[in-house]
Structure 1
Amino acid sequence: MIEVQNLSKRYGTTVAVDGLSFTIRPGQVTGFLGPNGAGKSTTMRMMLGLDRPTGGRVLIDGEPYRLLPEPLRRVGAMLEASAVHGGRSAYGHLLWLAQTNRIPRARVREVLAMVGLESVAGRRAGGFSLGMTQRLGIAGALLGDPPVLLFDEPVNGLDPEGVVWIRNLLKGLAAEGRVVFVSSHLMSETALTAEHLIVIGRGRLLADTTVRRFVEANSRSYVRVRTPDPERMRDALVRAGVRVERAADGSLEAYGTEAAELGELAAANGLTVHEVSAQRASLEEAFMELTGDTVEYQAGGGRR
């Protein structure tokens, strides 16, 4: 478990992280979301002792990261996949990491096979593609078989097969009872991978909830109705206490009801319907709705 307790970080007069508190629990993938400049990378660096907090603290299973013996066995992290000596082979890079934490040499081959780099183990990392470098960074995070895993943008550079692979890997690691914390800008992928969300903006906590509840709380869900008699349908809905809006295409948008209830209402009033469908926002739409006022830079509008 990771406990973030009133965490803050200032750089001069700039507040990067402002009193963050949340808990990351095992057994689920937790997504970490926020606009550029929200403080996500700074927060993750403080989790790993790479930046010193101005205030507050982060505990990993009750201890600060800097006090963990053989930390690669407790916490695996990939914050910057390109942080590899280009002259070392993939095998040599992982072997060096393994030897610093008394991890058996055999584990190096195991993780290379897990990430699909076994056939290029002897090649210099400096010649790797972005996707291969990303896989090597993931291998380094898995090296100590740790119960806690942190990834910053793990999908970067991966092809479609690689995206599906990392999605299944993260969900599988969480299913084994590990803490899996993933920062990402890809909303569609986060929606498919994560069960829980931590969302921040301008260094402050905006949401700590499940993906489903986050979308429900930050979007307008409605039932779309297409009918040859929209005025009668609208009148029937209003009498039933349902708020209705007319869409540009002539369909009706009914709020505060379910598709099944609306279908029964139409039948009871002898109304013909051509479509009754629930319309739910995506995670991306809900995220934009919540964080719109916390975006530091906007295209065409300069800095906010």
Structure 2
Amino acid sequence: MRRARWIAGIGLLPGALLAGATATTLAWRGRLPDRLPNQGGVGDRPVETTIPVDTLAALLIGVALAAWIAGLVAFLAAGWLPRTPRHWLRAGIQVAVAAVAGAVLTILLMVLNAALDAATAADVRISWAYFAATMATPAGVAVVSGLVALLLAGRAPAQRPDPRQPTGVAATVATDRPAPAGDGERLLWWESRSLRPVVWAAAALAITGPLLAALLVPFVGVSGWAGLAPTVTAPILLPFTRYRLAIDAREVRLAFGLYRWRLPLTAIASAEEARLDASTWLVRGMLRGATDPTLPLLPGRVLALRLTDGTRRLVTCRDVATAVEAVNTLRARVAAG
């Protein structure tokens, strides 16, 4: 059932949009002039430059097709990820492809509809109201297409425990003096988490570029392709869509995109649970920057590490209680060993 949903979302939905728009364009071709306004032709503005109908159709259909192919490649490449992040990344790709295809193809059909039965490009008159609708309607279609794709993605699957990798504290000692780890014993706690706000930000940038270009190119010419700039920058966010936190008998490690830091257990005096409200998190982020090592990735319940030099470091963590127990237990074992 899940595979059928993915096939429908990443395959059938954008394919149906492309097929429908292409069929409509071919059916209308006999009622269209050879060229359409490229600059001007809106309201009282005279037509300054024109563009061949076939060129415009090829460009916009090509944008939708390219988004579909790129989405399929990224969808398949996401197969190496764990189950939950794989699901959400694929859902984001599916939503982005459906939204881009729906928006771009709607623009094409609305531009062609305005030129039906016109003899020449000069006879194509677009009112400002229709021009505004040409910008607003594709956005609505993008939202609807994206929601359909999201519904087809369904919920994230339940996590399957991996017997080969521990996911919590390997050993917990309740005595006042913790015993040192035995020979060959490995103490490890780790957490891997997908940052959905970053995923959706990357998807939004990827959608915005083709949408802007599709809106601008027919009306301002070649310079309208500059609207693809957000899409070009979207891949920069992909390495930052998840983070990993690991705690072992030597150190606490955090990996976030290209950013890495390690904190030896000998430098930690204690660990405790803390809470960072959203307003404080935003203010600290604006004043100190997102690269501040004391700033957690997300507000809410955080792991607070009090260091031996008197400073404190806050770490984003889903299971704060277990992480606190892990750090304190392992730190005590290091001190006792």
* TM-score bin (small chain): under 0.3
Q: Which has the higher contact order (CA 8 A, sep 6+)?
A: 1
TM-score, normalised to structure 1, is 0.20
Indicate the structure (1 or 2) with the bigger Cα radius of gyration. 2
| TM-score, L = length of structure 2 | 0.18
